[in-house]
Amino acid sequence: MSIRIIAFGDLHDYVANIGKIEGIADASLLIITGDLTNRGGADRAGRVIEQVRHYNPRVYAQAGNMDQREVEDYLIEQGINLHGQGYMVAESVGIFGVGGSNPTPFNTPNEFDENEIASFILQGYGRIEDAPLKILISHAPPRGTRVDRTLSGQHVGSRAVREFIETYQPDICLTGHIHEARGEDLIGRTKIFNPGMLKNGGYVEVHQEGLSLIGSLKQIAGG
């Protein structure tokens, strides 16, 4: 069975663009990479998830660094949490995630040290490691790439995420966190996509072609 995934993140409570994503209702699966809210808790995250489900009920999500820790509890209760988890979403496709971020200068609500990030990734990976095709959803981008660079040019991504990708080479990494670093990059054979903020119209589409996963950056028309 083939699969078509639409992924986006960094909503920060902004939901107006969700319904503008082309083909959202027909996607096999929606993935929210993190930052559902702007320092919000479970109630605000719930409103975001309900807006997404209005267009397509097939969704997985994880808390980003700007979400309160209780958001993860809500996502667990809903059975859609990606952080530290892994799921087979098609016969040959496994997804696994790590939310939050490595430490920032801004004291955001949901930060982890690099050892914790490495542990969460491996925890999720262990649930899908036999999948022929693998997608890592990491809110924090891998360090030293085109998709973790701030406006000042500083690389602020996670070393643990990069080390995992270098070692295990998932097919695709879907990320976010650094809004101004919309783009794509490559580590070994792993394609990395950061669509930027949904408010600015960016998202990613992934589809299966035989034994390959093809990803592409997309832009909402007029967004």
pLDDT in tens, 100-125: 999 999 999 999 999 999 999 999 99
> pLDDT value at position 2?
81
pTM above 0.85, yes or no: yes
Q: Which of 181, 190, 124, 191 is nearest to 150 (CA)?
A: 181
Structure tokens at 173: 């990494």
pLDDT band of 222, cuts 50, 70, 90:
confident
CB-count burial class (<10 Å; 0-12, 13-18, 19+) for 219: middle
The domain limits of the chain are 4-219
Helix (H), strand (E) counts: the chain: 4, 11
Q: How many whole angstroms from its chain centre is CA 139? A: 5
pLDDT tops 70 at residue 141: yes
Q: Does domain 4-219 have CATH number 3.40.50.10860?
A: no
Q: Which of 184, 190, 216, 188 is nearest to 203 (CA)?
A: 216
CB 175 within 8 A of CB 139: yes
pLDDT band of 193, cuts 50, 70, 90:
very high
Mean pLDDT of the 39-44 span: 98
